[in-house]
């Protein structure tokens, strides 16, 4: 008998029909003798519908109130999924963030979980009830509703799994696992049976969209075995776990594309100490995450600074940057959403040199210009014009032998 | 300077455009120097949409989970209305039931408010913030989400007004006041400038739909001056207040129609002690309210019992009654939703005799059969076949001189 946390994403609970299928799967797991806690997202499209209503009012809403609005999406799901389970004869009980008890900090729209008191969940499981938990949300110490950011339900699931010391955390989604790249872009993409936490972390941070990055961090820190599975099939899925030796043989394990970043360029900054820290400090204060950063060498006493932020933060970030640009007398600020970040990832890179050079060579051969570059021990990323995004992914997938892998195994 | 509680119903916040209009009205009230707390309902259609999702799963859902689902409607509204006020330059802060702090009993879907701790609202008002409060909901002592039943936002508004000792509670809706009868049925209906709490109580209990009955009870108990106004006009509306002498001159002040009841008839009950109490006790246990009751005189040692319940409770009530009917060996149980209750209301009835007889005469003249009758000091109600509902209302409206009233005043 094990304790299993299952998380179902928006498409898995996208209609009452699908909720019934979720209820069946949950009860089947319980029937195998396991205790089951279920974390659910909002029905697909619901969060966007709610954000659309907010957008009808203003482009710069108060984050506290936005959280009050969007947190309802998951609340609707837990009630309905609990009812679906009960309708099939099971016992179920829904839990809102403050009922299970998920305490976060007060960074509205991007809150971080500070603590979980799983007492009430344990009580439900003891009574053989399925605990149906609202993903994506919590309450801060003042009782305000907070949300964890896009994909936050994954984080809720792993955090709950860690708090319950669960034997496994299964993330059910509309794909049957983690692929070497997005199969919609590259039909030769192949499902991975296993991936290390670190690689998954890089993929998540690159907008792989399968898992929220913080959920992978949490899983790594608490060594929670994390499965990515499809709620529409019985495929075993991909296991995300600690690195083992077999993984190191492969130099590049995946090619990732992130189209969710936007570029901000500040031209003609009078060269001086502390200007970068001024800009990035101000962005950090607004909880805006900056990714790639490029600064050229000074020319005529002036420098240009280019960096990327999430597309959703572009309006807010531009406000901040323009204010500072004026104060420091920079020449101009330009922004663009027409960029894409393409990356290669693999723990094997640690033991192989020349991987970055090979990547740039492949892109150059296709005539693709690099606007910025960033690397980690197991990843190389390049910012390119968005029109080349798919071409870049396919070229790299082929060049690093990921296409071939599929053919071999078949 | 006064403290005013305003409540906006579903159509008043039915779109973001209308929410902006609400925000304008709220800020205009504040500009006049008043402190303003606003209670809002779910956007029109939203509660039904949510209940529709539940119904896709089952006809007999768990009430606790239904409350979790439907409470989200008001939560969306408070976030959006707060943002609408902020967008117009005002200060606003949303309050969920457990944030303001509304504690109810645990009768899910029909909970009653036990206490309100208005500390947080006062704090917001002191900072010149508009308090935007979720109607319809609270939390019980175990932290479960509860809802107050259809129209519960009115009750929230009056309860908040009582807790704040507000100078007035203004209920904004899509009609500009309380009418002598439904103008859609009887074009000669006239708006009343003033109505007593007691008359309003009768009208509310009759499905007048303008105010939830408990809100009027609360207003009467705490002597909260209660205005019914339109959010689409500047009409002063109708004031619901304590009875004064001028009101007693009018025998019948309004004709009401309630199409939301259903009839249950139990035939051939072996005559005996305590059978009625057995049936009604069991219904009460399920929090099902019984209205009209008729029991005929025993014949051959058997009696027939007819009574009405809310249409929404018919399925549940039928379950209960059939079980008991079997146990007590009654012949059969029949149910019908094709009934309507028509009523005349007026505090003047206290001083005038023969009002009921006059009513029955009017209905008989139109060939309308009475299936049951009930009276109070200021009301006479009759249950009739629903096909006669509109005819009955118009005949009574004319017969008791309510049509004429309008012509005179013009």
Q: Tell me the pLDDT tens digit for each residue of A211-242.
A: 888 899 999 999 999 999 998 888 999 999 99
Each residue's pLDDT tens digit, B79-103: 999 999 999 999 999 999 999 999 9
Task: Provide the token pair at A302.
Answer: 């002036």
pLDDT of residue A408: 43
- The C-alpha of B62 sits at a distance from chain A's nearest C-alpha, in angstroms, of 7
**Residue A50 to residue B78, Cβ atoms within 8 A:** no
From the list B20, B75, B83, which residue is nearest A62 (CB)? B83
A56 to chain B: nearest residue by CA? B16
From the list A72, A86, A96, which residue is nearest B62 (CB)? A86
Q: Which residues, in sequence order, are CB contacts of B240 under 8 Å at separation 6+?
A: B178, B194, B195, B196, B197, B200, B211, B216, B219, B225, B226, B227, B228
pLDDT of residue A244: 84
By three-state DSSP, how is residue A308 classified?
strand
H/E segment holding residue B8: strand B3-8
d(CA A154, CA A161): 11
Instruction: Using an 8 Å CB-CB cutoff, list chain B residues near A14.
Output: none
Predicted TM-score of the model (pTM): 0.78
DSSP per residue over A228-289, as a string? EEETTS----EEEE---GGGGG-S--EEEEE--EEEEEEEEEEP-TTHHHHHHHHHHHTTPP
- The C-alpha of A10 sits at a distance from chain B's nearest C-alpha, in angstroms, of 15
By three-state DSSP, how is residue A203 classified?
helix
- Spell out the domains of chain A, with CATH numbers in brackets: 3-174 (3.40.1160.10)
Task: Provide the token pair at A224.
Answer: 């929670």
d(CA A213, CA A307): 20
**Residue A84 to residue B50, Cβ atoms within 8 A:** no
Instruction: Using an 8 Å CB-CB cutoff, list chain B residues near A84.
Output: 57
- Cβ-based neighbour number of residue A351 at 10 Å: 9
B139 to chain A: nearest residue by CA? A99
CB contact at 8 A, B339 and B261? yes
Instruction: Using an 8 Å CB-CB cutoff, list chain A residues near B71.
Output: 75
Q: How many residues does chain A have?
A: 410
Model confidence at A410: pLDDT above 70: no
**Residues in a beta bridge with A42:** none
Q: Which of A49, A66, A80 should we substitute to test contact with B (largest number of B Cβ atoms within 10 Å)? A: A80
From the list B19, B75, B99, which residue is nearest A143 (CB)? B99
Model confidence at A298: pLDDT above 50: yes
Model confidence at A409: pLDDT above 50: no
d(CA A176, CA A229): 5
B101: cis peptide before it, omega within 30°?
Answer: yes
Q: Which of B56, B65, B92 should we substitute to test contact with A (largest number of A Cβ atoms within 10 Å)? A: B65
- Cβ-based neighbour number of residue A265 at 10 Å: 16
Each residue's pLDDT tens digit, A345-383: 999 888 888 898 899 999 999 999 988 888 888 999 999
pLDDT of residue B59: 95
**B188–chain A Cβ distance below 8 A for any pair:** no
Model confidence at A142: pLDDT above 60: yes
pLDDT of residue B207: 61
A46 to chain B: nearest residue by CA? B76
A51 to chain B: nearest residue by CA? B80
- Cβ-based neighbour number of residue A248 at 10 Å: 16
CA nearest neighbour of A191 among A130, A243, A239, A134: A239
CB contact at 8 A, A403 and A185? no
Instruction: Using an 8 Å CB-CB cutoff, list chain B residues near A68.
Output: 75, 78-79, 82, 94, 96
pLDDT of residue B350: 84
Tell me the mean pLDDT per 10 residues along chain B, length 410. 95 96 97 97 96 97 98 98 98 96 95 95 97 97 94 94 96 89 90 92 74 89 94 91 83 91 93 82 90 83 90 94 93 94 91 87 93 87 94 95 58
Model confidence at A207: pLDDT above 80: no
pLDDT of residue B406: 44
The whole-chain average pLDDT of chain A stands at 92
Half-sphere exposure of A347 (CA within 13 A, CB side): 17
Q: Which of B17, B61, B72, B145 should we substitute to test contact with A (largest number of A Cβ atoms within 10 Å)? A: B72
**A259–chain B Cβ distance below 8 A for any pair:** no
The conformation of residue A313, written as its DSSP 8-state character, comes to: G
Model confidence at A406: pLDDT above 60: no
**A98–chain B Cβ distance below 8 A for any pair:** yes
Distance of CA B205 to the CA centre of its chain: 6
**Residue A94 to residue B16, Cβ atoms within 8 A:** no
**A145–chain B Cβ distance below 8 A for any pair:** yes
- Cβ-based neighbour number of residue A355 at 10 Å: 18
**A72–chain B Cβ distance below 8 A for any pair:** yes
**A71–chain B Cβ distance below 8 A for any pair:** yes
Task: Decide: residue A254, CB within 10 A, 0-12 exposed, 13-18 middle, 19+ buried.
Answer: buried
| Residue B345 φ then ψ, to 5° | -135, 140
pLDDT of residue A33: 96
A62 to chain B: nearest residue by CA? B83
pLDDT of residue A209: 67
Task: Decide: residue B328, CB within 10 A, 0-12 exposed, 13-18 middle, 19+ buried.
Answer: middle
Each residue's pLDDT tens digit, A65-92: 999 999 999 999 999 999 999 999 999 9
DSSP per residue over A370-383, as a string? PSEEEEETTEEEEE
- The C-alpha of B45 sits at a distance from chain A's nearest C-alpha, in angstroms, of 15
- The C-alpha of B23 sits at a distance from chain A's nearest C-alpha, in angstroms, of 11
**Residue B83 to residue A98, Cβ atoms within 8 A:** no
**Residue A75 to residue B75, Cβ atoms within 8 A:** yes
**Residue A75 to residue B76, Cβ atoms within 8 A:** no
CB contact at 8 A, B313 and B264? no
d(CA B109, CA B68): 10
The mean per-residue pLDDT over the stretch A188-204 comes to 90
The CA-to-CA distance between both ends of chain B, in Å, stands at: 35
**B58–chain A Cβ distance below 8 A for any pair:** yes
Model confidence at A407: pLDDT above 60: no
**Residue B83 to residue A96, Cβ atoms within 8 A:** no
How many Cβ pairs within 8 Å bridge chains A and B? Answer: 113
A247 pLDDT tier (thresholds 50, 70, 90): confident
- Cβ-based neighbour number of residue A22 at 10 Å: 23
Q: How far is CA B313 from CA A407, B58, B201, B283, B305, in A?
A: 63, 15, 21, 10, 18
- Give me the long-range contacts of B115-122 (CB less than 8 A, separation at least 24): B116/B159, B116/B160, B116/B162, B116/B163, B117/B163, B118/B160, B118/B163, B118/B164, B120/B95, B121/B37, B121/B95, B121/B160, B121/B164, B122/B164
**Residue A61 to residue B86, Cβ atoms within 8 A:** yes
**Residue B69 to residue A76, Cβ atoms within 8 A:** yes
pLDDT of residue B209: 67
- The C-alpha of A141 sits at a distance from chain B's nearest C-alpha, in angstroms, of 12
Instruction: Using an 8 Å CB-CB cutoff, list chain B residues near A92.
Output: 65
CA nearest neighbour of A29 among A61, A48, A3, A51: A3
H/E segment holding residue A167: none
**A80–chain B Cβ distance below 8 A for any pair:** yes
d(CA B271, CA B273): 7
Q: Which of A44, A67, A72, A86 should we substitute to test contact with B (largest number of B Cβ atoms within 10 Å)? A: A72
Model confidence at A13: pLDDT above 70: yes
- The C-alpha of B131 sits at a distance from chain A's nearest C-alpha, in angstroms, of 12
**A373–chain B Cβ distance below 8 A for any pair:** no
**Residue B76 to residue A72, Cβ atoms within 8 A:** yes
**Residue B53 to residue A87, Cβ atoms within 8 A:** no
**A51–chain B Cβ distance below 8 A for any pair:** no
Q: Which of A79, A88, A137 should we substitute to test contact with B (largest number of B Cβ atoms within 10 Å)? A: A79
**Residue A69 to residue B76, Cβ atoms within 8 A:** yes
From the list A69, A83, A143, which residue is nearest B54 (CB)? A83
A99 to chain B: nearest residue by CA? B143
Residue with tokens 């940057």: A321
CB contact at 8 A, A177 and A233? no
From the list B57, B64, B86, which residue is nearest A62 (CB)? B86
**Residue B57 to residue A87, Cβ atoms within 8 A:** yes
pLDDT of residue B208: 57
Dihedral Cα B60, B104, B6, B203, nearest 10 deg: 60
**B22–chain A Cβ distance below 8 A for any pair:** no
d(CA B228, CA B211): 8
Dihedral Cα B92, B10, B145, B258, nearest 10 deg: 150
């Amino acid at each position: 008998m094990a304790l299993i946390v299952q998380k179902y994403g928006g498409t898995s609970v996208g209609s009452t029909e699908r909720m019934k299928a979720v209820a069946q799967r949950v009860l089947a797991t319980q029937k195998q003798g396991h205790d089951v806690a279920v974390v659910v997202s909002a029905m697909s499209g619901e969060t966007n519908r709610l954000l659309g209503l907010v957008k009808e009012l203003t482009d710069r809403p108060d984050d506290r109130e936005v959280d009050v609005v969007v947190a309802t999406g998951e609340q609707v799901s837990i009630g309905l999924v609990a009812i679906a389970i009960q309708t099939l004869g099971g016992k179920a009980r829904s839990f809102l963030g403050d009922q299970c008890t998920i305490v976060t900090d007060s960074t509205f729209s991007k809150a971080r979980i500070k603590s979980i008191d799983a007492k009430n969940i344990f009580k439900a499981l003891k009574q053989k009830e399925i605990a149906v938990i609202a993903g994506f949300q919590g309450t801060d110490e003042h009782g305000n509703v907070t949300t964890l950011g896009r994909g936050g339900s994954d984080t809720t699931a792993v955090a709950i799994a860690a708090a319950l010391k669960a034997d496994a955390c299964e993330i059910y989604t509309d794909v049957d696992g983690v692929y070497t790249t997005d199969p919609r872009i590259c039909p030769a993409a192949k499902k991975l049976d296993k991936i290390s936490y670190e690689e998954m972390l890089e993929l998540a941070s690159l907008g792989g969209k399968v898992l929220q990055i913080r959920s992978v961090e949490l899983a790594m820190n608490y060594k929670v075995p994390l499965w990515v599975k499809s709620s529409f099939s019985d495929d075993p899925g991909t296991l995300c776990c600690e690195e083992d030796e077999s993984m190191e043989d492969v130099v590049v394990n995946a090619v990732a594309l992130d189209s969710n970043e936007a570029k901000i360029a500040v031209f003609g900054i009078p060269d001086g100490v502390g200007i970068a820290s001024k800009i990035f400090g101000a962005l950090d204060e607004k909880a805006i995450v900056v990714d790639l950063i490029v600064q050229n060498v000074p020319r005529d006493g002036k420098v240009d600074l280019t960096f990327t932020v999430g597309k959703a933060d572009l309006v807010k970030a531009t406000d901040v940057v323009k204010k500072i640009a004026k104060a420091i007398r920079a020449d101009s600020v330009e922004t663009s959403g027409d960029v894409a970040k393409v990356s290669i990832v693999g723990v094997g890179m640690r033991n192989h040199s020349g991987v970055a050079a090979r990547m740039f060579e492949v892109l150059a051969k296709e005539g693709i210009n690099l606007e910025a570059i960033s690397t980690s021990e197991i990843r190389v990323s390049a910012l390119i014009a968005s029109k080349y995004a798919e071409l870049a992914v396919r070229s790299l997938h082929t060049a690093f032998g990921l296409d071939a892998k599929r053919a071999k195994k078949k």
